[in-house]
């Protein structure tokens, strides 16, 4: 049986959930999922040369890929013949990215990675964009979450079909509308600088250590200063943050503030799979009745997807 490796970064679980769907639906491939994180020197990363298909999965951050994903892709070895920088290799590769709304600007986030990896001999077949619940800015309603997951499941089945049939289907870009994406990449610098602005309210905190233990960048340290009776406890955030918001999103006490972005903080799991199974929730949600901001953010995305699913005989 052929083998697939999915290199996945996921701050709050959305992209990881989509990766699990790929693993579930690939029937031609035995699938391994590798979670991208800050690695120690002794750690070994599964090598693309040992697989027939490579997938890269990430959440869109500020219309870009998170820096850790970019750096990870940079570290992958060349697949060109003899390791030369010819761009003529043929390691079959695809991208899947998740974001909180459906605007086509999110498509541009892969450009830098694709250009860099094509030079190294990775041949991109498909690129797919999944709308999943926002972990920033505003909380999606349970009705939205249900629709998003059911559509994600269908889109994975569509993508698996394309990949197993060897079809190419890349997203389209309008270069004139793309100029500002590198500008927004300032977020990479901001993510590193914002460490000192992240704070834990020690009165709310129960010292469960979930935040420190689960940070993918090993960026949170618990400190105790002073002697018994005059002990002062605190959390220190370093400069390796990739702004994935896993710490603040998953804190059971909502005790972590995320600096300048705190007004956009979303706290608490969406329990996506359970929500999608709740028969009492209206489905589909993203229909003609959408108005205003929601229509702008989601309507076209779902109509394009409806069309593609119908053309390929994929049902919801
Ligand atoms: C710092 C940050 C920036 C984000 N920027 C965007 C964005 O530009 N466009 C968008 O649609 N969603 C944006 N989001 C939302 C996430 O892309 C979305 O919720 C994604 O599914 C999260 O995936 P994860 O759970 O795998 O981390 C952003 C989230 C964060 C934390
Ligand atoms: S996850 Fe929240 S409650 Fe737990 S240690 Fe961190 S800040 Fe405290
Ligand atoms: S400090 Fe929080 S936001 Fe930054 S990388 Fe760690 S878990 Fe993610």
Q: Give pLDDT tens digits for 232-272.
A: 999 999 999 999 999 999 999 999 999 888 999 999 999 99
Find the helix packing angle between 300-311 and 142-164, rounded to 10°: 40
* Closest C-alpha residue for ligand 2 atom 8: 205
Q: Give pLDDT tens digits for 209-222.
A: 999 999 999 999 99
Find the helix packing angle between 67-75 and 111-119, rounded to 10°: 10
d(CA 283, ligand 3 centre) in Å: 34
Reply yes or no on whether the pLDDT at 107 is more than 90: no
Output the CA torsion 217→265→199→188 (10° steps).
Answer: 40
Reply yes or no on whether the pLDDT at 86 is more than 60: no
Reply yes or no on whether the pLDDT at 22 is more than 80: yes
- 23-32: average pLDDT: 97
- Nearest ligand to the CA of 209 is 2
* Mean pLDDT over each residue of the chain, to the nearest integer: 91
In the numeric block, which tokens belong to residue 260? 């300048």
The SS3 of residue 118 is helix
d(CA 219, ligand 3 centre) in Å: 7
pLDDT tier at 283 (50, 70, 90 boundaries)?
very high
Which among 20, 100, 140, 185 is the best mutation to test ligand 1's pocket, defined by most ligand atoms within 8 Å of the CB?
100
The SS3 of residue 261 is helix
Which among 13, 67, 242 is the best mutation to test ligand 3's pocket, defined by most ligand atoms within 8 Å of the CB?
242
Q: Give pLDDT tens digits for 140-182.
A: 999 999 999 999 999 999 999 999 999 998 776 666 666 666 6
pLDDT tier at 90 (50, 70, 90 boundaries)?
confident
pLDDT at 82: 59
pLDDT at 186: 64
């Amino acid at each position: 049986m052929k083998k697939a490796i999915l290199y996945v970064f996921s701050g709050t679980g959305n992209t990881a959930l989509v990766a699990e769907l790929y693993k579930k639906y690939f029937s031609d491939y035995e699938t391994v999922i590798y979670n991208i994180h800050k690695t120690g020197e002794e750690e070994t990363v599964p090598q693309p040369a040992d697989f027939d298909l490579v997938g890269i999965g990430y959440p869109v951050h500020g219309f870009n890929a998170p820096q850790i994903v970019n750096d990870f892709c940079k570290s992958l070895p060349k697949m060109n013949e003899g390791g030369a920088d010819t761009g003529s290799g043929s390691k079959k590769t695809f991208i899947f990215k998740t974001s909180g709304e459906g605007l086509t600007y999110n498509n541009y986030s892969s450009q830098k990675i694709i250009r860099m990896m094509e030079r190294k001999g990775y041949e991109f077949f498909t690129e797919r964009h999944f709308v999943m619940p926002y972990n920033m800015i505003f909380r999606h309603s349970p009705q939205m979450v249900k629709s998003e997951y059911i559509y994600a499941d269908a889109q994975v089945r569509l993508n698996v079909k394309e990949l197993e049939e060897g079809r190419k289907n890349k997203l389209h870009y309008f270069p004139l509308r793309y100029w500002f994406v590198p500008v927004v990449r300032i977020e990479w610098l901001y993510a590193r600088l914002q460490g000192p602005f992240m704070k834990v309210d020690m009165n709310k905190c129960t010292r469960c250590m979930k935040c420190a233990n689960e940070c993918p960048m090993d960026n949170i340290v618990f400190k105790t200063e002073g002697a018994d009776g005059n002990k002062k406890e605190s959390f220190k955030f370093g400069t390796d943050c990739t702004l994935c918001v896993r710490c603040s999103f998953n804190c059971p006490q909502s005790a972590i503030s995320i600096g300048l972005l705190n007004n956009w903080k979303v706290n608490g799991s969406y329990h996506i799979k359970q929500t999608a199974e709740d028969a009492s929730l209206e489905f589909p949600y993203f229909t003609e009745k959408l108005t205003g901001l929601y229509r702008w953010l989601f309507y076209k995305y779902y109509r394009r997807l409806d069309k593609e699913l119908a053309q390929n005989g994929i049902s919801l």
